[in-house]
């Protein structure tokens, strides 16, 4: 029996500017999306109905999701949109922490769309991803991109950052995206710059960092630990937290930082990776 597989690459926000709260309750943002070379892993085999089995180190965090898991929501949405009556037996190897600002659920949903489109022989309708979640369109493409609107208006920024060593660190605290946005002070601090993505990121900011730090003060310790590492360039919280990232000029510097932080705080989750 054929086995289909896809990677749900970890999403990071190199910068995230929140511009305003819209009448529909969502927020207009300007962000720089980038993706790690690593992430969750999704596999599927043909079946009569849709089922999902979750394994991996963070499987327990999804125990209560049931049929509301984003993978199943994406699968049902694609089947409905394309008139598919067949199913699939899906297995999600959950390697990324949940509610951590690196798009785990959105990346899983995007992987499901890509994988099932191949299995069922269909194309993903252009406007389907945004109905599942604000980050799903970016995760569907999984390329370095500027995102505007809710994040669904994407401009591909090319592969100039591909291969850049990156260290992700999470203090083991789940942070609710809704709660973080609710604590945003509503102040528009200006537009995200254009041009070179890394220069724009360095000149930018993450407007969700302060409210996230108020909810999870552990983020302060992660940012400080990353900033103290030799060779760390851009250091920033990703998304609504609590995962933080640091970009390095060399894999050796990244790996040394990974070892140092692991020795300092072995209870923190870490991922030594690179941008794809």
The residues that are catalytic are 11, 135
Q: Which residues pair with 273 in a beta bridge?
A: 166
- C-alpha dihedral (129, 151, 220, 260), degrees to nearest 10: 60
> Phi and psi dihedrals of 166, rounded to 5?
-145, 140
Longest Cα separation, the chain: 55
State the CB neighbour count (10 A cutoff) for residue 113: 23
CB 90 within 8 A of CB 44: yes
Which alpha helices (DSSP H) does 48-103 contain, by range? Answer: 70-82
In the DSSP assignment, the letter for residue 267 is: T
Regarding beta strands 50-55 and 153-156, do their DSSP bridges make them parallel or antiparallel, or are they unpaired?
A: unpaired
Rounded CA separation 145/26 (Å) = 20
Residue 135 CB-density burial (10 A; 0-12 exposed, 13-18 middle, 19+ buried): buried
The upper half-sphere exposure of residue 207, i.e. CA atoms within 13 Å in the direction of its Cβ, equals 24
Task: Point out which residues pair with 32 in neighbouring strands.
Answer: 15, 146
């Amino acid at each position: 029996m054929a086995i289909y597989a896809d990677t749900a690459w970890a999403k990071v926000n190199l910068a995230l500017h929140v511009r305003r709260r819209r009448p529909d309750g969502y927020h207009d943002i300007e962000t720089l999306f980038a993706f790690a070379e690593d992430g969750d892993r999704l596999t599927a085999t043909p079946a009569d109905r849709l089922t999902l089995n979750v394994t991996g180190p963070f499987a327990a965090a999804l125990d209560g999701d049931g049929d509301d898991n984003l993978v199943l929501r994406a699968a049902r949405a694609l089947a409905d949109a394309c008139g598919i009556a067949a199913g699939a037996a899906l297995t999600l190897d959950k390697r990324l922490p949940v509610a951590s600002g690196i798009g785990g659920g959105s990346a899983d949903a995007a992987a499901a769309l890509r994988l099932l489109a191949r299995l069922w022989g269909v194309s993903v309708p252009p406007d389907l991803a945004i109905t599942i979640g604000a980050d799903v369109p970016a995760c569907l493409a999984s390329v370095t991109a500027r995102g505007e609107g809710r994040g669904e208006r994407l401009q591909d920024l090319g592969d100039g950052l591909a291969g850049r060593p990156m260290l992700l660190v999470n203090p083991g605290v789940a942070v609710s995206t809704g709660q973080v946005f609710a604590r945003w002070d509503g102040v528009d601090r200006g537009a995200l710059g254009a041009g070179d993505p890394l220069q724009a990121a360095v000149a930018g900011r993450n407007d969700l960092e302060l409210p996230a730090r108020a909810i999870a003060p552990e983020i302060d310790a992660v940012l400080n630990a990353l900033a103290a590492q030799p060779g760390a360039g851009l250091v920033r919280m990703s998304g609504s937290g609590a995962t933080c990232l640091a970009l390095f000029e060399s894999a050796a510097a990244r790996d040394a930082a990974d070892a140092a932080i692991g020795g300092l705080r072995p209870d923190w989750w870490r991922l030594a990776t690179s941008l794809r």
